[in-house]
Amino acid sequence: MIKRLSLPLLLIFIVNAGFIPQKNAVTHSAITFQVKNLGINTTGTIGGLQANIHFNPANLSASSIDATVDANTINTDNTGRDEHLKSDAYFDAARYPKITMKSVSLKHKSGNNYTGQFILAIKGKEKTLEMPFSCVQNGTTMVFKGAFKLNRLDFGIGESSMILSNEVTVNVDAEVEN
């Protein structure tokens, strides 16, 4: 009796385990940003990328990309500036430690090139943006590269300023083990 019940239960477990969403292991990432400050390009990085990616080029309507980075990892190679950026005047990293990006739709452009509509959330404010990106499958690794621009004021990052540009360019480079 136990043997008869255990086989169907084992099969149900195995089948259901295949449908459990899994977080992909990010094996390499570089999230960089650039903004003009006093007319000079100022660059920095944000780390702690975690991603849940279900990307199938043959079935983009069933694909999704969800990612977060840690606002406390902002690094511009200037400790004083980094602490200022983490303060409530800019990223308020103590209250809003995660910056999130979630796909709404993904479309194929050509070759390994795609574009996605994403909801970006910073400091509790959300904005939909478009990001062109490439995805190259290399064995069991997917390599994603993309870039987008945002207006920092849309997210309450600092105030309007003659010194600091409102436009920020963000570059995303990530390798994900599939």
4 DSSP 8-state letter? H
Architecture in CATH of 22-177? Beta Barrel (2.40)
Residue 25: its pLDDT value, please? 82
pLDDT band at 5 (very low <50, low <70, confident <90, very high): very low
The closest alpha carbon to 133, from 85, 81, 63, belongs to 63
pLDDT the model gives residue 107 = 98
Instruction: Give yes or no for residue 13 having a pLDDT over 50.
Output: no
Mean pLDDT computed over every residue of the chain: 89
| Strand, coil or helix: 168 | strand
Q: What is the mean pLDDT of residues 111-135?
A: 98
**What's the whole-model pTM score?**
0.85
Q: Is the pLDDT of residue 87 over 80?
A: yes
pLDDT for 19: 37
Residues with Cβ within 8 Å of residue 1, at least 6 apart in sequence: none
Residue 178 pLDDT level (bands cut at 50, 70, 90): confident
